Amino acid sequence: MPAITATFWVIKVLSTTIGETFADYLTVNVGLGPAMTDAIMFVLLVTALVVQLRTRSYTPWIFWLCVVLVSIFGTQLTDFFTDTLGVPLAVSTAVFSVTLVVVFAIWYRQERTLAIASINTRRREGFYWAAILTTFALGTAAGDFATEALNLGFRNGTLIFGGLILATWIALRLGAGQVLTFWIAYVLTRPLGASLGDLLTQDKDLGGLALGASATSLLFVAAIVVLVVREQLLVNRHGVAEKGAGPRVGRGQDLAWAGAAALAVAVVGFGLSMAQGSQPGTDTQADVAPDAVTTGAPGASTAARQPHPTTKLGNLSKFAVIVADVQAKVSKNDLAGAKTRVKDLEVAWDDAEAGLKPRDATKWHQLDDQIDAVLTALRASNPAQADCASAVTSLMHTLNTFDGV
């Protein structure tokens, strides 16, 4: 296990953001779908954990590869419960909370300690990785539940969860137990990383920096690689730090490297956001007429009207325009073209989830279900025009209805 340093926490937060953005990128942007993405990540995670458990001493690149993969798979686990099985986030949060308590109870009963500094046997490490996977799943469910139920949004979520971690550190300095504060902070870094990822990826009209999932993932992976390579070099040069000890080269250098990495991510992210905004044609809504909404009847002409300014979900016209294109293709029985165009709807809707869902979760879920119905109809092995037309018409009707509510 690594020493618990500032570098440790920076890498941990960056890895949680990767879990939020990279899984979505593979599932939606690449088009692997939830099942294939889950299968690939599960195989990679099992392989990495086998290598980690067979390693005799702390090896940074192996350890952090496992953490990144656990972050991705933990996110997918919660998404599977929520999106595929339809389990409410409140229930998922409760289930994962109980599961984590059970893991800790068995771990403590067997080993009489939960300290990361005491992990020096394979069995203790097994308990550790079981707890880590559960904390990622719990952090995802609890963070999404708080964001949705309390309408926090990703900007407020970043501030609130960051503030809770700061409060946990203050509690540690005031004498709270190291083991307790470590695990509280470990759980809280998951929703913090998710909120930070959403802040970077969401469109500017939703309050984000509009970097997109791919750019954010690459930026954070680059920062993780730099910090992990440095950790590996230090281990090669100085050996593994004693359990419970600080960084080998002193806390000053550790804080400098961790701070520099965090600052670099912030500066590069902001710079890319500004550069993107200054380039014509790079807006994520460039291919969408901003105020166009169709009447919703199959084959009907497009009629432009200004969305109502008090719409809780915001301006839905960019989705309505894509749906209108799909609807026109379906009316002409161009189902192949409609299937291709509906991919744009899937990507745009997924990208905007973190910004739209907290505004009105009930309406978001209604639209989400209808979008899924359109995707299912168009992606059937033998799609029927009537089924596709019905699904698209229902979706367009709902978009027009919500536009003024």
- Residue 365 tokens read as 């879920």
Average pLDDT over residues 159-172: 92
- The more confident residue out of 76 and 213 is 76
Give the confidence band of 305 by pLDDT, cuts at 50, 70, 90.
very low
- Residue 349 tokens read as 């809707």
Give the confidence band of 38 by pLDDT, cuts at 50, 70, 90.
confident
User: Considering only 118-132, 190-204, 327-341, which range has the smallest mean pLDDT?
Assistant: 190-204
What distances in angstroms separate CA 238 from CA 7, 62, 98, 172, 230, one per listed residue?
17, 18, 41, 29, 12
pLDDT value, residue 115: 86
- The answer to whether residues 264 and 223 touch, using CB atoms and an 8 Å cutoff, is yes
Per residue in 310-362, pLDDT (tens digit) is: 456 777 888 888 999 999 999 999 999 999 999 888 888 887 877 787 777 78
Q: What percent of the chain has pLDDT over 90?
A: 28
Query: What is the CB-side half-sphere exposure of residue 363 using CA atoms within 13 A?
Result: 17
- The more confident residue out of 133 and 196 is 133
Give the confidence band of 163 by pLDDT, cuts at 50, 70, 90.
very high
- Residue 308 tokens read as 């109502």
Per residue in 77-114, pLDDT (tens digit) is: 888 888 778 888 888 889 999 999 999 999 999 998 88
From CA 206, how far away is CA 320, in angstroms rounded? Answer: 17
Give the confidence band of 196 by pLDDT, cuts at 50, 70, 90.
confident
From CA 12, how far away is CA 199, in angstroms rounded? Answer: 17
Output phi, psi for 305, to 5 deg: -150, 150
From CA 118, how far away is CA 229, in angstroms rounded? Answer: 25
Task: Give the three-state DSSP class for 191.
Answer: helix
Per residue in 225-243, pLDDT (tens digit) is: 999 998 888 888 877 766 5
pTM summary value? 0.75
What does the CA dihedral 210, 211, 214, 218 come to, rounded to 10 degrees? -160
- Say whether pLDDT at 283 is over 50: no
pLDDT value, residue 130: 92
From CA 257, how far away is CA 55, in angstroms rounded? Answer: 26
Q: What is the mean pLDDT of the chain?
A: 81
Of 309, 317, 327, the closest CA to residue 348 belongs to: 317
pLDDT value, residue 288: 39
Average pLDDT over residues 171-196: 88
- Say whether pLDDT at 128 is over 80: yes
pLDDT value, residue 219: 87
Of 185, 184, 208, the closest CA to residue 197 belongs to: 208
